[in-house]
């Protein structure tokens, strides 16, 4: 019983700290604020770089090629229909309109109403956050390969 109370108190404190921290992360106003908020969502919430950034021979992300698309370094343990072995580039969102990407990020479905191929999650951002993500990704440019 004591362990359960201790766990409940610890868990409650962690939830409180997470909520308090989230409230402090309100982005500044304007497009720069939107880009920064989008960067935060891409890097810390969606964790997009985990799949969309290529990795070196040691499995470490190649930061100079962040979000430029990558072969997935993991596979499902069993059969998964329609498994995507490649995460496409997100830098600049080439080939997508802003409206298509906002629809994808708010509904979890592409404009044809299809779910993304696994392992891509079907995100359900609110419109403000989806627009911030699109604004951030549009602000990025691909680096020339050396």
CATH of the domain at 104: 1.10.760
Q: How many domains does the chain have?
A: 1
Any domain includes 87: yes
* Residues of the domain holding 50: 32-139
pLDDT tens by residue, the chain, 146 residues: 444 444 444 444 443 444 444 443 444 456 789 999 999 999 999 999 999 999 999 999 999 999 999 999 899 999 999 999 999 999 999 888 999 999 999 999 988 899 999 999 999 999 999 999 999 999 998 665 54
> CA–CA separation, 144 vs 94, rounded Å?
16
Alpha-carbon 30 to chain mean position: 22
Any domain includes 59: yes
Any domain includes 135: yes
Sequence-distant (6+) residues with CB within 8 A of 73 are 55, 59
């Amino acid at each position: 019983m004591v362990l359960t109370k201790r766990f409940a108190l610890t868990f409650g404190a962690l939830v409180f700290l997470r909520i308090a921290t989230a409230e402090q992360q309100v982005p500044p106003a304007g497009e720069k604020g939107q880009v920064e908020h989008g960067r935060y969502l891409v890097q810390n919430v969606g964790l997009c770089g985990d799949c969309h950034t290529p990795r070196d021979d040691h499995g470490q992300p190649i930061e100079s090629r962040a979000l430029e698309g990558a072969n997935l370094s993991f596979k499902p343990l069993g059969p998964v229909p329609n498994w995507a072995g490649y995460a496409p580039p997100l830098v600049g969102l080439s080939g997508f309109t802003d409206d298509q990407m906002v629809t994808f990020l708010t509904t979890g479905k592409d404009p044809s109403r299809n779910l993304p191929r696994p392992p891509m999650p079907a995100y359900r951002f609110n419109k403000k956050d989806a627009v911030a993500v699109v604004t951030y990704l549009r602000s990025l440019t691909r680096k020339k390969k050396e």
